[in-house]
Structure 1
Amino acid sequence: MPTSDADCPFCAIVRGRDSDAREVYRDDFVIAFFPTEPATLGHTLLVPRQHVGFIWHLSDELAAVLGQATTRLARAVHAAVEPDGLNVIQSNGEAATQTVPHLHIHLVPRWDNDNIGPIWPSETDYTEDQKDRAWSAIRDECRTLMS
């Protein structure tokens, strides 16, 4: 049974308590809807019905469901609005620009002339030592967590 947070606006949509929500899909595990202020026409959010704040709290089972729903929704968005491209964005925490603390995946149709700028910096200046330390730390965590 899905759990929810009484103060979460996405949980209100899950419960059917937001009459302004432009829902495009719902099943036992996920819901997809338009955000109030879409970045482009067709911008769609996908959320688990269960209240999960961050990707690191997501169960492997629900992650698999979200992955499958994301690819199916991407096909639907692509067929419906025929974009030149598509960003799939999932942010966690305030530093990553997450504004609603309910895990959500943005599917953002992109066109060559849209108003969204690049999402990556044109260059970075990390030293090889910094990159090696990050690589080593993440590799070690992967060996621990994924074995």
Structure 2
Amino acid sequence: MPSIFTRIISGEIPGKFVFKDERWVALLDITPANPGHVLLIPVAEVQYLNDLPGGTLAALGDRLTRLIAAVKKATGAPAVNVLVNDGSAANQAVPHVHLHLIPRFPGDRTLVHPKGTPYGDGELEHWATALQRAWA
């Protein structure tokens, strides 16, 4: 069954689009963290960011930077959070890649960054090495 985003992109379900092209669409989130909260969604229905087709991935930078500028201009926000929940374990509610662009204002308290736990002895080195090997 197609994702809700695919159904919106196809016109089966209404959505308020900011833009729509052959690779990406941007539409207003219907439950915004702040007014002007936009979702940037690929037309291709894939769950994981690293599975996006090459041309779609290549176009992401342009669409994202233009959309950030539009969100700031339209809302007057001095800053924007760009969030991706990549997979169900990362709280991805819809299994279709989407980036949240959330306008931020001083003191809005919309999102609270969770306080992490510092690495223990040797853990920082361990994870740096593991990630460097995976990157190679």
TM-score normalised over the length of structure 1: 0.85
Following the alignment from structure 1 to structure 2, what is the Cα–Cα distance between the partners of residues 128 and 71? 39
Q: Which residue of 2 aligns with 1:33?
A: 27
1:111 aligns with 2:105: yes
Q: Which residue of 1 aligns with 2:119?
A: 126
Q: Which residue of 2 aligns with 1:3?
A: none
Q: Which residue of 2 aligns with 1:48?
A: 42
Q: Which residue of 1 aligns with 2:67?
A: 73
- Note the C-alpha offset of 1:127: 1.3
- Note the C-alpha offset of 1:120: 4.0
Identity of aligned residues (%): 31
Which residue of the other structure, out of 11, 15, 31, is the alignment partner of 1:16? 11
Deviation digits for residues 72-98 of structure 1 (CA, Å, limit 9, x no counterpart): 101111111110211011111222121
- Note the C-alpha offset of 1:25: 0.6
Unaligned runs of 5+ residues in structure 1 are 1-5
Q: Which residue of 2 aligns with 1:85?
A: 79
Unaligned runs of 5+ residues in structure 2 are none
Moved over 4 A (4+): none
Give the partner amino acid of 2:113.
I
Give the partner amino acid of 1:24.
V
What is the total number of aligned residue pairs between the two structures? 136
